[in-house]
Amino acid sequence: MAISRVRSLIPLSNGVRNSVSSFSRFYSSTFSTHFENVGFIGLGNMGCRMANNLIKAGYKVAVHDINHEVMRMFADRGVPTEETPSGIAETSDVVITMLPSSSHVLDVYTGPNGLINDGNLLRPMLFIDSSTIDPQTSRRLSVAVSNCGLKQKKDIWEIPMILDAPVSGGVLAAEAGTLTFMVGGSEEAYLAAKPLFLAMGKNTIYCGGAGNGSAAKICNNLAMAVSMLGVSEALALGQSLGITAGTLTKIFNSSSARCWSSDSYNPVPGVMEGVPSSRNYIGGFATKLMAKDLNLAAESAKEIGLKCPLASQAQEICNESRLISYDHPFENSSFDHRFGELCKEGHETKDFSCVFRHYFSGKDEH
């Protein structure tokens, strides 16, 4: 076993529940002392803000990114930088990665100058991958990490471990330190890493074994995409039938159609302040990123033989309209190319709620 399962020795009777809770707090605080030196790889819009919050929390952070300009920004503030992922591994107790895709993650971990090499002894006890990738890749990476050894074993930590811990909340939550982490992997490693998560976010949810955090993220984003498509289609239909989007939104939000896409992230310009639709769909969650996540969901469903018709249709809106190119797009879409033509003009960087205007031809509220 990677970590001795001390908690399994504690009887699970009502009389010792307080002891179990105290043990969990002790466990987390004990191992957090081993994570003072943090390596962070991937300093994009999310990663740079997450790294900043770790620095604010007092961790000794070293960073790496292929973008030398952003590396220079951190170096100018006195933050150590490394030229390669392996350089980060040599100086860190824990390494956090926040990267665009599965291929980037595999390259950083197992490629030339990567974080791990089969059979090598590693300094980091723990790796945390917060990238949004497919669960299968997360599980393969978990096996690869567990095949390595530790240069120095500490307490009951016997081998290096990895958690898949994608996030929800976007750039604003990354800035404010209010992200939600969906975590898969060893529960003991999760408890040990919790102080790190809470330095970058406000919620952590343990999802089970390796890959389950990644699975939770793509399922969440699939539901979010389908919800936005349904709300956008209904609001556009209502407008065409003579009902204003504001009136229909009030009906949705006081009846059974109420959801996040209607009451917190309304896609109709002029209905709600402080959301991307109120600023010409600037900011928020880029449509091309939603397209990527839909492809992850569709490919995962295809791999296990599960029918996901709504995922497929949502994916087709993006892929068949040539919003973004992927290796394995679904074929034979029944959707037209209006959305794709608009996206080719630059709308792929706008928030995904722009589907209301650019696919369903919805109108602004005045």
The HSE-up count of residue 239 (CA atoms within 13 Å, CB side) is: 21
Q: How far apart are CA 313 and CA 84, in angstroms?
A: 40
C-alpha of 307 from chain center: 24
Question: Rounded to whole angstroms, what are the CA distances from 148 to 113, 121, 156, 170, 187?
Answer: 15, 6, 16, 33, 19
Q: How far apart are CA 236 and CA 357, in angstroms?
A: 9
Q: How far apart are CA 351 and CA 121, in angstroms?
A: 43
The residue written with tokens 């639709």 in the block is 277
Q: How far apart are CA 212 and CA 139, in angstroms?
A: 9
- Residue environment code for 137-172, b if the CB has 16+ CB neighbours within 10 A, otherwise e: bbbbbbebbeebebeeeeeebebbbbbbbbbbbbee
Q: Strand, coil or helix: what is 196? A: helix
Angle between helices 135-146 and 212-240 (to 10 degrees): 160
Q: How far apart are CA 297 and CA 310, in angstroms?
A: 11
The residue written with tokens 């929800």 in the block is 168
Q: Of 194, 217, 292, 350, which is the active-site residue? A: 217
Number of helices and strands in the chain (H, E): 15, 10
**Type of residue found at 254:** S
SS3 content of the chain, % helix, strand, coil (to 5): 50, 15, 35
**Type of residue found at 115:** L
Q: Is 217 a catalytic residue?
A: yes
| Residue 75 structure tokens | 């170096």
The catalytic site residues sit at 217
